[in-house]
Every structure is written in C-alpha cells, then in structure tokens.
Amino acid sequence: MSIEIIPTGAALGAEIRGVDLARSLDDQTFAAIERAYNEYGVIFFREQRITPQQQVAFTRRFGEIEFNIFGERWSVPDSPEIVVVSNVTEEGRPIGVRRAGENWHSDMCYTARPPRGTILYALEIPDLFGLPLGDTEFASGAAAWDALPESMRQRIEGRRAVFDFAGRKRAFPPTQSEVDRYPPVKHPIVRMHPYTGRKCLYVMRDDCIGIEGIDPEEAEALITALADHIVKPAFIYRHHWRPSDLLMWDNCTVQHRAIQDYDLPRRRLMHRTTMGGAPPV
Ligand code: SIN
C-alpha cells in the first residue's frame, strides 16, 4: 500500500489515503499510521468497507480494547467491543447511545486509566439537501498549551484536577452502581503525550470539579478559563462525515463534541471502539 498523509490545515487532523482497512496491514504501513495518529491527534480514512471484526482487529493493533459502560447497554451483536452510537430506534427502543457526547470532553477522563484513543466508523450519516449533518468537532489541547502565556504555564504546571464521573450531564443518566464504579480521580491538567512527549492541556468544564491546592472558587474560574481556551476556533478541526469514514482521535491531546443538528427521520449510525490507556503523566 502506498500511504499518503494529507493534513487538514487546521491545528490538528490529517486524512490518510492509500490504505484499505479491510486488508491486514503490514508493520510498515501500520507504523506510518500510528506515527500520523500520534502527531496529528485526529486521523481519518474515507471509503472504508469493514466488518465489526475488522474494526475490532484494527483497534487491537493499538493495544487492548477498553470496554465502555454504554457497551453494556448498546453493543453490536457478537462484538461486545463495539458500542453503537445512533439516534435510530427499532420498535420504539433506541438501538444505540444517542447524543454520545454533546459537550466538550475527552473519553473516560474520569477513570484512573483514561483510554489512549477512540475509533468511530460511520455507517449512516444524516444530511439535508445533500449537506452532511451530525459533524464532530475536535479541539487540540496541545495547540492550546503552546499558545498559553508563560505566566499561565507556570501557574498550572504540576497541578492536578479532580475528575468526577458524576460531574457531566449525560443523555442517559448513569445508575448509582455505575457512579459507584468510578469514584473521583486526580489527573495532571498539563499532560505529556505518552508517545511524542508533547505537552497538552487536559481540562474539561463538566468533568473537572476542582484543582488540588487551589480554593474551590478560584479553581472553578480557572477550569472555566482553561476549558474555554482549549476550544477556541484556532485550535479546532470540524469533521464533516461521509458514510464509510473511519476516524480516530487521541484522548490525551484532543477533546471532542458531537454536533446535534439533526433528528429522525434523519438517521445517524456509528460503530465505536476504544483503546485501553494508562495513568496520565
Ligand atoms: C463520542 O463522543 O464518542 C461520539 C462522537 C460523535 O458521535 O460524533
């Protein structure tokens, strides 16, 4: 395969061409994909025709699969690793998690070992007069860190925030046992990417409920200021989906949110897999 990497021109993101994910990838091709993924934070492949098994196999090349609580309610038959993200209902019942992430977030940041990354494979994309709806926006916490003034860098480096699973409002409120499974954890708000060493901001408005060593009122104001800084237009790539896109993002340097500008009868159907991670440093 002859692989081509085309940066989006935004602060993050690149399209990868010349790769057929339905075929097994040789080590050299996989290494080029992994390098691009670590460097660009978001990479995507157009016109992929893959089965659930092929998506799981591709995800496993990046490490162990992480199981998400939504998968316990909505997974693909015979592929418990894949969460169905969809607004579709069958016989009045949702077939997947709807409105999976309307607010800016990094997946499972409330766990002790947040996942390395997430893969979304688009099966059905809503549109209006041929214009795609249901985009996903991505923000680079690395570009946001690079743009911070030195005084702010010194103020926050080495500090840890408290991440609380119960902090974020979710489309499907979690059960008490799900809340109990994820007690609040502390992570550095300036993280180092585990593969590139690049620094990035790791703060989310809804998930972070405090900062160690800073009084609650000041911490709340600082979380808001940093979270708003990360999602400034200069640090964003907005993906306009096409059916058969496979896109993956890095959960260390990248935050994302799903744009909810569509509803039934316009259908959106995605298959999501998540890669295991490690404690942030
Ligand atoms: C997610 O947050 O995992 C889903 C993003 C999307 O549906 O666009």
Please write the tens of the pLDDT for every residue from 50-96: 999 999 999 999 999 988 777 777 888 888 999 999 999 999 889 99
- Ligand 1: atom nearest CA of 105 is 2
pLDDT of residue 236: 98
**pLDDT over 80 (residue 155):** yes
Give the lowest-confidence range in 31-40, 137-146, 158-167, 196-205. 158-167
What separation in angstroms does the CA of 97 have from each of 17, 93, 252?
A: 30, 11, 23
Are 171 and 102 in contact, with CB atoms under 8 Å apart? Answer: yes
Contact of 96 with 269, CB cutoff 8 Å:
yes
Mean pLDDT across the stretch 160-176? 79
What digits encode the pLDDT tens for the residues 94-129?
999 887 788 999 999 999 999 999 999 999 999 999
Query: Which residue, by CA, sits nearest to atom 7 of ligand 1?
Result: 258
> Is the predicted pLDDT of residue 279 greater than 90, yes or no?
yes
Q: Using a 6 Å cutoff on CB, does residue 101 contact ligand 1?
A: yes
**Ligand 1 touching residue 13 (CB < 6 A):** no
Instruction: Give the residue-averaged pLDDT of 131-150.
Output: 98
pLDDT tens for 182-235 read 889 999 999 999 999 999 999 999 899 999 999 999 999 999 999 999 999 999
Give catalytic residue positions.
105, 107, 256, 272
- In terms of Cα–Cα distance, which of 246, 252, 250, 251 is closest to 270? 246
Cα–Cα distance between 16 and 6 in angstroms, integer? 6
Three-class HEC string of 98-143: CCCCCCCECCCCCCCCCEEEEEEEEEECCEECCEECCCEEEEEHHH
Alpha-carbon distance of 69 to 181, in angstroms, equals 10
pLDDT of residue 172: 65
CA distance 12 to 143: 8
Beta strands in the chain (DSSP E): 4-7, 14-17, 42-45, 75-76, 79-86, 89-90, 93-94, 115-124, 127-128, 131-132, 136-140, 160-163, 185-188, 190-192, 199-201, 208-211, 236-239, 246-250, 254-258, 269-277
| Cα 93 from Cα 89, distance rounded (Å) | 5
Residue 83, ligand 1, Cβ within 6 A: no
| Per-residue pLDDT at 225 | 97
Question: In the predicted model, is pLDDT for residue 11 greater than 70?
Answer: yes
pTM for the model: 0.94
- How many angstroms is it from 69 CA to the middle of ligand 1? 14
> What was the pLDDT predicted at 169?
64
Bridge partner list, 97:
85
Contacts for 69 with CB less than 8 Å, ≥ 6 apart: 174, 178, 181
Predicted confidence (pLDDT) at residue 257 exceeds the cutoff of 90: yes
